C-alpha cells in the first residue's frame, strides 16, 4: 500500500490567514434574553475560598485515615485473639538465632529458634502467665492508637520550645559532673602510682 501527499499550492501561512478571515459563527440569543461575556483573565490566582476548600479536604482525609486506623486496629485484635497459635514476642540472639514466647491454646511456651526449633521452657506459674499476657495485651493496645499518636506529636511540638531553652544549663551541669568524675579518677590513679613506686 502506497501513500502519497496531495500537491497543494498553498503555504501554512496562507492556511492560517484563511482561518482568521472567515467570520466566526455565533449563536443568536433567544428573544428577550441577553448573554453576558465575562473576562476571566483578571481572575488568576488562589482565592480565599480555594484555601478553605483545600483545608476542609485535608481535614476530611485526616479524619478518614483516623477512622481507618481504628477499624484496622479493631480487626487485627479480633484476628489475633481468634488464632490458637500466637507469637507474644521474642528477641534476637545473633544471626538466625532467637528466643520466642508463643501462646498455643492456653499454654505459653518459650522456644529457641535457630537451625532447628527447640522447646526451652513451658510457663506453668499462673502469676507469670497472667503477667506475660497482660504485658502483651497492653503492647497491642498501644501499638496503633491514633489518639496516642496525635497526643505524642502535640507533646513533641510543645516540648521542642522548652527543651531548647533548658539545653544550655543542662549541658553545663553534665560537663561539670564529668569533670569532677575525671578529677576523682585521675586522683585515684595518681595515688596508685605513688604507692607502686614505694
Contacts for 93 with CB less than 8 Å, ≥ 6 apart: 99
What is the domain extent for residue 73?
49-82
89 and 78, same structural domain? no
Is pLDDT above 70 for 113? yes
Final residue belonging to a domain, choices 59, 82, 105: 82
95 and 58, same structural domain? no
Contact 132, 101 (CB under 8 A): yes
Q: What residue has cell string 492560517?
A: 16
Is pLDDT above 70 for 26? no
Is pLDDT above 60 for 16? yes
One-character DSSP codes across 70-119: HHHHHHHHHHHHH-SEEEEEEEEEETTEEEEEEEETTEEEEEEESSSEEE
Which percentage of the chain shows pLDDT scores above 90? 13
Of 6-10, 36-40, 64-68, 73-77, where does the model show the most confidence? Answer: 64-68
pLDDT of 144: 57
pLDDT of 131: 87
131 and 107, same structural domain? yes
Say what the pTM is: 0.37
Final residue belonging to a domain, choices 82, 103, 124: 82
127 and 100, same structural domain? yes
115 and 76, same structural domain? no
96 and 139, same structural domain? yes
* Residue 89 placed within a domain: yes
138 and 94, same structural domain? yes
- Band of the pLDDT at 4, cuts 50, 70, 90? low
102 and 57, same structural domain? no
91 and 72, same structural domain? no
CA distance 129 to 189: 50
* Residue 76 placed within a domain: yes
* Residue 176 placed within a domain: no
More confident residue, 63 or 39: 63
* Residue 102 placed within a domain: yes
Is pLDDT above 80 for 186? yes
Distance of CA 195 to the CA centre of its chain: 60
* Residue 61 placed within a domain: yes
Final residue belonging to a domain, choices 58, 82, 106: 82
* Residue 95 placed within a domain: yes
Nearest Cα residue to 101 out of 139, 133, 140: 133
CA distance 130 to 107: 11
CA atoms within 13 A on the CB side of 194: 6
Is pLDDT above 70 for 198? no
pLDDT of 37: 47
Give the total number of structural domains in the chain: 2
65 and 111, same structural domain? no
pLDDT one-digit tens code per residue, 132-175: 888 887 777 776 565 666 677 777 777 665 555 677 888 888 88
* Residue 26 placed within a domain: no
Which cell goes with 34?
441577553
More confident residue, 190 or 38: 190
Torsion angle of C-alpha atoms 175, 177, 178, 180, degrees rounded to 10 = 120
Contact 102, 85 (CB under 8 A): yes
Over the chain, what is the mean pLDDT?
Answer: 77
* Residue 140 placed within a domain: yes
Amino acid at each position: 500500500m502506497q501513500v502519497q501527499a496531495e500537491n497543494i499550492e498553498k503555504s501554512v501561512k496562507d492556511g492560517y490567514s484563511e482561518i482568521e478571515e472567515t467570520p466566526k459563527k455565533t449563536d443568536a440569543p433567544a428573544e428577550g434574553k441577553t448573554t453576558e461575556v465575562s473576562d476571566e483573565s483578571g481572575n488568576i490566582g488562589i482565592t480565599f475560598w480555594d484555601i478553605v476548600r483545600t483545608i476542609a479536604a485535608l481535614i476530611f482525609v485526616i479524619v478518614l485515615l483516623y477512622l481507618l486506623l481504628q477499624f484496622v486496629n479493631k480487626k487485627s485484635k479480633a484476628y489475633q485473639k481468634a488464632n490458637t497459635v500466637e507469637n507474644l514476642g521474642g528477641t534476637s540472639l545473633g544471626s538466625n538465632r532467637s528466643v520466642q514466647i508463643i501462646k498455643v491454646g492456653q499454654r505459653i511456651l518459650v522456644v529457641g529458634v535457630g537451625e532447628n526449633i527447640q522447646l526451652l521452657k513451658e510457663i506453668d506459674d499462673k502469676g507469670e502467665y497472667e503477667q506475660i499476657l497482660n504485658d502483651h495485651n497492653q503492647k497491642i493496645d498501644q501499638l496503633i492508637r491514633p489518639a496516642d499518636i496525635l497526643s505524642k506529636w502535640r507533646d513533641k511540638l510543645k516540648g521542642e520550645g522548652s527543651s531548647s531553652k533548658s539545653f544550655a544549663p543542662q549541658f553545663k551541669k553534665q560537663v561539670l559532673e564529668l569533670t569532677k568524675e575525671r578529677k576523682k579518677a585521675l586522683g585515684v590513679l595518681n595515688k596508685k602510682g605513688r604507692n607502686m613506686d614505694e
